[in-house]
Amino acid sequence: MIKKLFIVGVAFEFFMVQFMATGFACSAFQLSDSDHLVGKSYDWHQSHGMVFTNSRKMKKTAFLLDTSETAEEWTSQFGSLTFSQHGKDFPLGGMNEKGLVVEILWLNETQYPIADARPTVNELQWIAYQLDNFSTVKEVIADVSKRRISPVMANVHYLVCDTTPECTVVEFIKRKEQAPAGATLKANVITNDSYAKSVEHLKDFKGFGGTKAIPTDSSSLSRFTSLAMQLAVPMDRTAMEHALALLEGVEQSNFSVWNIVYNPTKQTASFRAAGDDAKSIRSIDLSKVDLSCKTNKLGSYVDFHTTSTGDLTSSLLPYDAAENKAIAEKGMALLEAKLPKAAVKVLTQKVSEYPETESCEE
């Protein structure tokens, strides 16, 4: 058991090194429209993905590598919809039935708090924990220091928004949790620099105290500034058209793989492969999904790249363990060039079988 844990630990450590060496170039924002749409451009080496629905009243225990840490245990209060490349319950972002949206982005500056007595989750399941338990940004802010992240994959920060104009950015700088209230945010945007550094940079530009025009390069600070400046200008098109145009403006050539737009007010999520036209948009209406664990224990799913378009709510398929394993294998495939196949196999098995450890408490 100790040897197996060590092998998996090495795998994840290498995974983190690879992430840090290449980095993300993601961007996320909230519009100031009546529905408070949230947009996300996901930029990465792999484009595969699944969209999962997750039932309420599911009892869960956090997946950790270090068995000496206290794994957080919880029962989901709300159902949700999440996007993943590593299997169900390891989301890269999502929205719950109350309209809370959580999105993840890379941040090299991240330094997670040192180990202590607090219950612990990993950085992807931190997203699941928020969506499972909270309905507002204020609730997330009030809770953020009560549990600790024990990272297994990456250095990240998060954009959290709800059905109001309020968002927060949750970061871990110098081993301290930071989650400024929405009213203090200069702009509801994050890219791949700390929020404080991004806002300081913004001061040099028109509308925020400076004289510079919208930057056109694709650096993290320029993407932040460009989005903040454009969000401050009244829209001359529909909110969805505006969100998609903003996502196109921050795409990183072939490195950008997903465009996602959440409507927290209407409980819908729309998505497409980056670069696809408007006709390729797919959507799911979470309000029409069975989120009872008694009747739909492990939820449902659809392949991100399904050839179907439009509203896919009625086309969702029941959770499939084989499909979940397949996506986990794809997500872990980056490790195969540097690690023994046995180590990758152990890691993939643990991640893919995680949903079977949950129980319905309804």
What domains can be seen in the chain, in order of their start residue?
Answer: 2-192+238-360 (3.60.60.10)
- φ/ψ bin of 246: left (φ > 0), alpha (ψ from -120 to 50), beta (otherwise): alpha
Give CA–CA dist 2/206, Å, rounded. Answer: 57
Q: What is the DSSP secondary-structure string of 34-76?
A: TT--EEEEEE-S----EEEEE-BSEEEE---S-TTS-B-EEE-
Within 8 A by CB and 6+ apart from 156, the residues are: 104, 105, 106, 107, 110, 123
Counting as low any pLDDT under 50, the low residues of the chain are: 1-8, 10-12, 14-22
So what's the pLDDT on residue 168? 97
Give CA–CA dist 189/30, Å, rounded. Answer: 7
So what's the pLDDT on residue 204? 96
Within 8 A by CB and 6+ apart from 29, the residues are: 38, 39, 159, 187, 188, 189, 190, 227, 231, 246
So what's the pLDDT on residue 184? 86
So what's the pLDDT on residue 253? 79
Q: What is the DSSP secondary-structure string of 309-338?
A: -EE-GGG-EE--HHHHHHHHHHHTGGGTTT
pLDDT in tens, 16-70: 444 444 455 799 999 999 999 999 999 998 999 999 999 999 999 999 878 889 9
So what's the pLDDT on residue 276? 87
Give CA–CA dist 53/271, Å, rounded. Answer: 15
344, β-bridge pairs: none
Percent of the chain with pLDDT over 90: 81
The answer to whether 327 and 87 are in contact (CB under 8 A) is yes
What interhelical angle do 321-331 and 341-352 show, nearest 10?
140
pLDDT in tens, 88-119: 999 999 999 999 999 999 999 999 999 999 99
Give CA–CA dist 175/196, Å, rounded. Answer: 15
Name the residue among 53, 27, 102, 130 with its Cα closest to residue 264: 102
Sign of CA dihedral 158, 305, 135, 118: negative
